């Protein structure tokens, strides 16, 4: 295929952009931050329903045995209220990290 | 249904529309530069309020509470999808799309994929997304007006279309600017204050009804309470996850959400604005389920039993109905009704303007008549707005589902088409126009197949629920784009150099 020649040709400049093989330097660090944030986003959002799907199959037992917080089952509070806070927190941390990364690269120039 | 006009909400609505016009006229003097780009530096909280006001539609104001009223825990899939999507957008695309420097979805697609066919395709998709979104908004307006004037839904709908049009024309004629911060404030107060009063009337903690509705749910008769608290009464884990994922990728692909990233002077402000925006949106979403829960409290207390059909019919105005049922003062019931109408009208004006812009510029000017003059295009845009509104009206007469469900279909389309095109466009230099066109075609088919063929092939709806098709759809489209791009020549070198030097550099 055409792109294999491209990769092997040393005279050609490397213009490859690939999320899974980030370019060294700024992009590699940026992608690392993105991976960490995405992992924290995905495990919390989809981890809970997956956990609930396996553990909670019977309504009466679930509601009798599940831990409670603020007067409601903890999983209910987690999905209805905590996760939005978590999303805000993730965006905050992401911004702090990206701010730090871009300012460190600007200073180097 | 009562057959009398409720005068309080009607006059309040007229008053609010007039005041918002006046505020628009006053803030016009301070607003410089076109495209809503504010020149002076503004605080992050204020950017966030603008993001939230752009976001909050009838689906948030009326729809979520309705879904919670019917389906309990299942409604959290909507709430999390519509907030978590912003994380995806910020993390994966926000900065990069901004550095790319194209303001609308069709502009981005043409610049990145170097193809006018892909551009027109994405413009058509953007128009269809606007259409579906508008249908949901009009359903909200129709239902609120039907309640307000004691007329039937279809009449109320026509009336609603006339009102939005009158407002659009007057506001456009006077060139009134929108004041998003004030708009957000009005909507959130109109939502939360009546909710606090409802909680007080029913004897629950009124300071934070966002917490006390849990208590209210537990106080319901055990059978009802269990149904709403148990996660899988109204939907399987697959349905929940598919819906949540679809709304998330849809949020990250919605054209009118993306363009919000450009209305602020720099990248950093835009990013920090999202943090505040999420908080402001969260305020509404933390509160919305409480309306659904308190509605059940009243139904139980008064011994009223609704048939499933009755509950379904009331769900989309349950916010207003709850206030009316518990006996809130007329003024507060009206405030809720008007908040819903305002949220819908502002969303509709934004979407119709975007849709008409896509028709007049991306399709008419670029495809049909490249010699068209500015004034000629303006006429086309006005005609397009009218045509779109009529089309929306025709579909909205028989709304195919709840407000939140109709809106979700628009998200599924965005998640199946524009999201993959943006994602690969930014993160993979090798993605080319053939891949983009193939991807958008497959995405469109995946979105509409379960809707059009669902009756013939029932399994299609199980795997691809119309509201939630992107969990399967988005990965399939991404795969299609990768395969087709690999089999066809790479995009031109100048494009790839632009990606390396501009989009992926600090």
Q: What is the dihedral of CA B481, B486, B490, B496, to 10 degrees?
A: 60
Of B428 and A4, more confident: B428
pLDDT at B409: 95
Domain containing A67: what range? 19-108
User: Which residues partner with A72 through β-bridges?
Assistant: A69
Alpha-carbon distances, residue A103 vs A97, A98, B169, B504 (angstroms) = 10, 8, 46, 15
pLDDT at B88: 94
Q: Which of B230, B241, B503 sits opposite A46 (nearest CB)?
A: B241
Which residues of B, range 82-101, sit inside 8 Å of A by Cβ? 83-84, 86-88, 90-92, 95
pLDDT, mean of each 10-residue run, chain B (506 residues): 72 86 73 42 82 90 95 94 94 88 87 92 93 94 92 92 84 75 91 95 91 89 87 90 96 83 79 93 94 94 90 93 93 93 88 85 86 86 87 91 94 96 94 95 94 85 90 96 95 90 84
User: Is B217 in the A-facing interface, judged by CB distances under 8 Å?
Assistant: yes
| Residues A29-70 pLDDT 10s | 999 999 999 999 999 999 989 988 888 777 777 777 788 888
In a domain, A9, yes or no: no
Q: What's the predicted TM-score (pTM) here?
A: 0.92
CA B31/CA A95 separation, integer angstroms: 28
CA A68/CA B235 separation, integer angstroms: 23
Average pLDDT over residues A15-41: 91
Token code pair at residue B234? 């109204």
Token code pair at residue B116? 């006018």
Alpha-carbon distances, residue B352 vs A36, B129, B222, B360 (angstroms) = 38, 11, 46, 12
The count of domains in chain A is: 1
Considering only CB atoms, which chain A residues are within 8 Å of B483?
none
Q: What is the distance in angstroms between the Cα of A88 and the nearest Cα belonging to chain B?
A: 6
In a domain, A13, yes or no: no
CB A38 within 8 A of CB B91: yes
- Would the CA dihedral through B23, B24, B26, B27 be positive or negative? positive
DSSP at A17 = -
Alpha-carbon distances, residue A53 vs A57, B74, B132, B151, B236 (angstroms) = 7, 13, 32, 45, 8
Q: Which fold has domain B7-27+42-503?
A: Sodium/glucose cotransporter (1.20.1730)
Considering only CB atoms, which chain A residues are within 8 Å of B233?
59
In a domain, A6, yes or no: no
Considering only CB atoms, which chain B residues are within 8 Å of A80?
76, 79, 286, 289
Q: What residue ranges do the domains of chain B occupy? A: 7-27+42-503
Q: Which residue of A has its CA nearest to B272?
A: A95
pLDDT at B130: 92
CA B313/CA B66 separation, integer angstroms: 10
The set of residues, in sequence order, having a beta carbon less than 8 Å from that of B235 and lying 6+ positions away, is: B71, B74, B77, B243
Q: Which DSSP helix (H) or strand (E) runs through B21?
A: helix B7-28
Q: Which residue of A has its CA nearest to B423?
A: A19
CB B161 within 8 A of CB B389: yes
- b/e code B289-301 from CB counts within 10 Å (16+ = b): bbbbbbbbbbbbe
B489 Rama class: left (phi>0) / alpha (psi -120 to 50) / beta: beta
Q: What is the distance in angstroms between the Cα of A53 and the nearest Cα belonging to chain B?
A: 6
pLDDT at B43: 85
Q: Which of B231, B430, B506 sits opposite A102 (nearest CB)?
A: B506
Average pLDDT over residues A80-102: 94
CA B375-B378-B382 angle, to 5 degrees, is 145
pLDDT at A12: 63
Token code pair at residue B447? 């979105």
ipTM of the complex: 0.91
DSSP per position, B465-499: -TTSTHHHHHHHHHHHHHHHHHHSPPPPHHHHHHI
CB B377 within 8 A of CB B361: yes
Considering only CB atoms, which chain A residues are within 8 Å of B87?
37, 41, 87, 90-91, 94
pLDDT at A5: 44
Of A101 and B26, more confident: A101
- List the helix and strand counts (H, then E) for chain B: 25, 0
CA B157/CA B142 separation, integer angstroms: 4
Q: Which of A45, A92, A94 sits opposite B84 (nearest CB)?
A: A45
CB B450 within 8 A of CB B424: no
């Amino acid at each position: 295929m055409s792109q294999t020649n491209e990769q092997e040709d040393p005279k050609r400049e490397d213009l490859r952009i690939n999320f899974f093989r980030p370019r060294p330097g700024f992009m590699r660090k940026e992608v690392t931050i993105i991976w960490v944030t995405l992992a924290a986003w995905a495990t919390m959002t989809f981890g809970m329903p997956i956990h609930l799907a396996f553990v909670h199959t019977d309504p009466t037992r679930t509601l009798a045995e599940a831990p409670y917080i603020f007067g409601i089952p903890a999983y209910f509070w987690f999905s209805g209220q905590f996760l939005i806070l978590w999303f805000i927190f993730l965006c905050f941390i992401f911004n702090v990290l990206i701010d730090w990364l871009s300012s460190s690269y600007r200073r180097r120039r | 249904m009562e057959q009398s006009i409720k005068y309080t909400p009607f006059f309040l609505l007229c008053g609010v529309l007039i005041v918002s016009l006046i505020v628009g006229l006053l803030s016009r003097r301070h607003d410089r530069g076109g495209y809503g780009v504010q020149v002076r530096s503004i605080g992050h909280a204020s950017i966030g309020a603008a993001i939230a006001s752009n976001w909050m539609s009838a689906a948030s104001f009326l729809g979520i509470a309705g879904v919670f009223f019917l389906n309990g825990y299942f409604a959290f899939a909507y709430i999390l999808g519509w907030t978590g999507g912003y994380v995806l957008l910020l993390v994966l695309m926000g900065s990069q799309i901004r550095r790319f420097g194209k303001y609308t979805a069709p502009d981005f697609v043409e610049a990145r994929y170097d193809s006018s066919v892909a551009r027109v395709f994405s413009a058509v998709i953007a128009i269809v997304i606007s259409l579906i979104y508008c249908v949901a908004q009009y359903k909200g307006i129709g239902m609120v007006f039907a309640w307000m004037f004691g007329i039937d839904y279809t009449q109320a709908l026509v009336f609603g279309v006339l009102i939005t049009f009158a407002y659009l024309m007057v506001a456009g004629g006077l060139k009134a600017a929108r004041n998003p911060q004030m708009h957000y404030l009005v909507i959130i107060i109109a939502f939360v204050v009546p909710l606090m009063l409802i909680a007080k009337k029913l004897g629950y903690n009124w300071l934070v009804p966002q917490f006390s509705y849990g208590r209210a749910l537990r106080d319901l008769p055990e059978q009802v309470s269990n149904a709403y608290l148990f996660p899988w009464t109204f939907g399987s884990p697959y349905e929940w996850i598919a819906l949540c994922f679809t709304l998330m990728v849809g949020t990250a692909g919605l054209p009118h959400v993306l363009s919000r990233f450009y209305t602020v002077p720099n990248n950093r402000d835009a990013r920090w604005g999202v943090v505040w925006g999420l908080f402001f949106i969260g305020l509404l979403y933390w509160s919305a389920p409480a309306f659904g829960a308190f509605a059940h409290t009243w139904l139980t207390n008064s011994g009223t039993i609704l048939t499933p059909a009755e509950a379904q019919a009331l769900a989309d105005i349950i916010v207003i109905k709850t206030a009316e049922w518990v006996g809130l003062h007329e003024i507060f019931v009206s405030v809720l009704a008007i908040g819903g109408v305002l949220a819908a009208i502002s969303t509709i004006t934004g979407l119709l303007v975007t849709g008409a812009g896509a028709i007049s510029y991306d399709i008419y000017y670029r495809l049909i008549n490249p010699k068209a003059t500015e004034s000629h295009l303006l006429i086309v845009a006005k005609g397009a707005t009218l045509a779109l509104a009529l089309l929306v009206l025709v579909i909205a007469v028989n709304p195919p589902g709840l407000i939140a469900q109709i809106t979700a279909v628009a998200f599924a389309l965005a998640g199946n088409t524009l999201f993959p095109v943006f994602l690969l466009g930014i993160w993979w230099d090798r993605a080319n126009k053939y891949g983009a066109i193939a991807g958008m075609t497959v995405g469109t088919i995946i979105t509409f197949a379960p809707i059009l063929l669902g009756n013939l092939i029932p399994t299609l709806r199980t795997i691809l629920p119309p509201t939630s098709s992107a969990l399967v759809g988005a990965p399939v489209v991404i795969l299609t784009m990768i395969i087709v791009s690999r089999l066809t020549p790479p995009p031109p070198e100048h494009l790839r150099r632009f990606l390396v030097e501009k989009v992926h550099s600090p």
